[in-house]
Amino acid sequence: MGSGGKGLLLLGLLGMLGKCAACDNGLSSNDVGDCVDINECEDPRHCGNDTMCFNTNGSFYCQCNPGFREIDGKVNFTDGQCKDINECTDKVGICGHAVNCSNLIGSYWCTCHVGYTNNSGNCTDINECSEAKNKNEDLCGGKGTCKNSDGSYWCKCSEGYTNYGNERTPCSALDCDSFSGNGGPAPLLGGLADILSMMRNSCLALSNPSAAGEGNPDGDALLEKIFTATDAILSPGQLHSSEDVSGLLSTVENAIMLIGPQLKDNRTEIETSETDAVIAVQRGKTPPTGPIHLTTENATLDTDWTTAAGTGSYPGFALAALLSYKNLEKSVNRSFDELTGHEKDGVNASFQISSRVVSVVVSNPSTQNLSRSVNITLRHLQDVEELANLNYICAYWTERGSWSTDGCYQQHSNATHTVCTCEHLSSFAVLMALYPMEHTFGLQLVTKIGLIISLLCLILCILTFKFCRSIQGTRTTIHLHLCICLFVADLVFLAGISQTKPVAGCRFVAAMLHFFFLGVFTWMLLEGVQLYRMVVLVFNATIRPLYLFIIGYGTPLVIVIISAIIRPNEYGTDQHCWLSLKDGLIWSFFGPVCFIIILNVFFFIVTVWKLAQKFTSLNPDLSNLHKIKAFTVTAIAQMWVLGLMWVFGAFLFEEGTTAVAYIFTILNSLQGALVFIMHCLLSKQVREEYAHFISCICTPQKKRYSDFSSTNPSSSQSQGSRSGQHTGESKI
């Protein structure tokens, strides 16, 4: 190829390179060498999420989708980021009146408020009263008038009815007369009249329709006032009658029923020095469902809202309350007459309260026949396991003012708690009763055998002290009447200590035992005084019988009369015909006994000390061993006669002291035998009288005449001298 050809080829190549270099950014050369546009929008990465891509000749631009905004506020961009627009906050009122605005990603959603409906894009008020009337629904109850309002409605109650300040709650009837106290014992209890007056005023205010515009009642403040007033009633001490207890329980229960629907919170807890309460309230158009678990320090209630609300007409709320009284058990530790059928091995049970008194209140008006049983767990006052002679039972306080177990059963018990299952709720309380099974067969057998032996020995003592002429004197008179008192006391004890019915008879038996046992101690005191006078005064140691009778029988009689006037109902208990261990009446027996024992110990010490001096002066050659032996025997005998063994009697009627009861029963039952041994068999004069009496019976008549005729004068004179000596000694 010539030079001309090479030039043309070079010129063609340069022309092609010139065309390629002429295409700008965003353009590309096609097959024929023309520059054409590149569509950048085909690649979504150029604009990112939530955007729209627009292609231009040789370029492109981006815009955010509707509902989104570029973060820098640019409308068209090639390098940016879109974020959601919150129309609900950026454009206030975008949805209109009575509408809830809900923001969505890239959009928003409008919903009408409760009480409004969407009408062609606008929310308009729903007339609930008209709709309920068309559907034959009763929004406000039989005595309530439905009033429509913007977005809602309210119930106007007739006089005597209320919705407890909750405007959309059906009207319920009020029984303000239940707080009048007419025809019942409640006003007799100090402070209860103030609670009744306070609750009646609150009830009348609720039942007056004109008070509707005065604002909602403050149930929490009223509840606090009621429990403060209850503390003022219970703080001074025990309530003295079952009527007072029933009046208080009924009033507090009715007060909680009235105040509960007025409380602001669904659950309210309040604790004072005398009470501990928890109240749960559920409100709504339909009855609530689900479990209820209420707990205080001493009790737990387990039930459900269906049971609490009942199956009758629903008033728009349901209530359940658990109330514990911290010290009321002291006032209701009685009235066990209706607790029957709890005998064990032929022995009647005795009862005492073993837990706090607990009241359960529900809005269900039919609490006497619940659809489901309720469980109430009660904590024991003392941690004691059930034993063979100790059982726990569940009881409730009846409207008659006594304890009953009908419809309440023990589900489970341990040392600390008892779970009670009840088919009904009484108006007042659910609690536990503890009854010990006392007096085992062995103890009864020992008591009867010992007392029979004691009575036989006391009869011998009485006959001996009455008819044995050689020992007549002040000490014999004291021993005679001591034995008479002990004989009557043991006889009454054996025959009537367990005869608790009828009540009047039981009280008479208790008074007799009180008198004659005090008489035993009083004559023991006189014996101690006489021993002291014999050793110290020596001469003129006798005491006139009239003075002995005045002190020996008059002192116990005065004590019993005063005790019977002050505490007549404390003579006799549910288990024994003896003095009640509560209210301090037992100290009308133990007080004088302790005083007599202290005096006798004093006289005994002085007597032994004086005797020691006399033994020393009269028997200077007596060895120390004989002295100690004599003093020991005298001390044991004197202590026994003065009745120190009766200290064990303080534990005779206590529970859980079986060993002590055996000791006392054995010692006391054999006291007659001990008196017979010490004062009769150990007395030389009495033994001689017994021997003479037996010889008169056993010796043949002829031999006795022969012995009498052959007796010489000197022998007769000697016997007369000894008899006179004995008689003279016995008069001391």
**Residue 472 vs residue 13, higher pLDDT:** 472
Average pLDDT, the chain: 78
Mark out the alpha helices in 471-554 (DSSP H runs): 474-496, 503-536, 545-549
- Each residue's pLDDT tens digit, 75-125: 899 888 899 999 888 888 888 888 889 999 888 888 998 888 888 778 888
Percent of the chain beyond pLDDT 70? 77
Residue with tokens 């928890």: 278
Q: 3-state SS of 5-43?
A: HHHHHHHHHHHHHHHHCCCCCCEEECCCCCEEECCHHHC
Print burial letters for 631-657: b (CB count within 10 Å at least 16), e (below 16): eeeeeeebeebbbebbebbbbbbebeb
- Each residue's pLDDT tens digit, 213-234: 444 558 899 999 999 999 988 8
Closest by CA position to 244, among listed 233, 257, 253: 233
User: Per-residue confidence at 158, pLDDT binned at 50, 70, 90?
Assistant: confident
pLDDT for residue 629: 41
Query: Residue 275 in contact with residue 325, Cβ under 8 Å?
Result: yes
**Residue 372 vs residue 528, higher pLDDT:** 372
pLDDT for residue 651: 54
Give the fold, CATH level 3, of 27-84: Laminin (2.10.25)
Quick check: 267 pLDDT over 90? yes
In angstroms, rounded to a whole number, what is the distance separating the alpha carbons of residues 125 and 128?
Answer: 9
C-alpha gyration radius of the chain: 51
Q: How many CB atoms lie within 10 A of CB 307?
A: 20
Kindly report, as residue ranges, where domains of CATH 1.20.1070.10 are found in the chain.
Answer: 441-692
In angstroms, rounded to a whole number, what is the distance separating the alpha carbons of residues 157 and 201?
Answer: 18
- Each residue's pLDDT tens digit, 269-300: 999 999 999 999 998 878 899 999 999 999 99
- Each residue's pLDDT tens digit, 305-323: 998 988 877 888 899 999 9
pLDDT for residue 38: 82
Token pair in block for residue 435: 């009854």
Kindly report, as residue ranges, where domains of CATH 2.60.220.50 are found in the chain.
Answer: 264-434
How far CA 622 is from CA of 464, 610, 663, in Å, comes to: 34, 16, 37
Kindly report, as residue ranges, where domains of CATH 2.10.25.10 are found in the chain.
Answer: 27-84
Quick check: 701 pLDDT over 60? no
**Residue 614 vs residue 585, higher pLDDT:** 585
CATH class of 441-692: mainly alpha
pLDDT for residue 624: 37
pLDDT for residue 725: 39
pLDDT for residue 658: 62
Q: In one letter, which amino acid is 74?
A: K
Token pair in block for residue 575: 């288990």
Residue with tokens 């429990």: 227
Report the CATH architecture of 264-434. Sandwich (2.60)
**Residue 375 vs residue 713, higher pLDDT:** 375
The three-class DSSP label of residue 615 is helix
Closest by CA position to 376, among listed 342, 426, 341: 426
Token pair in block for residue 12: 């063609």
- Each residue's pLDDT tens digit, 589-635: 888 988 887 887 787 777 777 766 665 655 554 443 344 344 335 43
Q: How many CB atoms lie within 10 A of CB 703?
A: 9
Burial of 10 (C-beta count, 10 Å sphere; 0-12/13-18/19+): exposed
User: Per-residue confidence at 703, pLDDT binned at 50, 70, 90?
Assistant: very low
Mark out the alpha helices in 540-586 (DSSP H runs): 545-549, 555-566
Q: In one letter, which amino acid is 114?
A: V
Model-level pTM?
A: 0.53
Q: What is the DSSP letter of 171?
A: P
Residue with tokens 């016995």: 730
Quick check: 712 pLDDT over 50? no
In angstroms, rounded to a whole number, what is the distance separating the alpha carbons of residues 485 and 556?
Answer: 11
Quick check: 141 pLDDT over 90? no
User: Per-residue confidence at 372, pLDDT binned at 50, 70, 90?
Assistant: confident
Element (H, E) at 294: strand 291-295
Instruction: Summarize the confidence of residues 249-278 as an average pLDDT.
Output: 91
- Each residue's pLDDT tens digit, 373-432: 899 999 988 887 776 567 788 888 888 888 888 888 888 888 889 999 988 887 444 445
Query: Which range (231-245, 578-592, 709-723) has the least confidence?
Result: 709-723
Quick check: 143 pLDDT over 70? yes
Highest mean pLDDT pick, 16-25, 307-316, 514-523: 514-523
Q: 3-state SS of 305-351?
A: HHHHHCCCCCCCEEEEEEEEECCHHHCCCCCCCCCCCCCECCECCCC
How far CA 57 is from CA of 21, 60, 71, in Å, comes to: 18, 8, 27
Phi-psi region of 183 (alpha: psi -120 to 50; beta: other; left: phi over 0): left
In angstroms, rounded to a whole number, what is the distance separating the alpha carbons of residues 128 and 134?
Answer: 10
Strands of 161-240, DSSP E: 161-162, 172-173
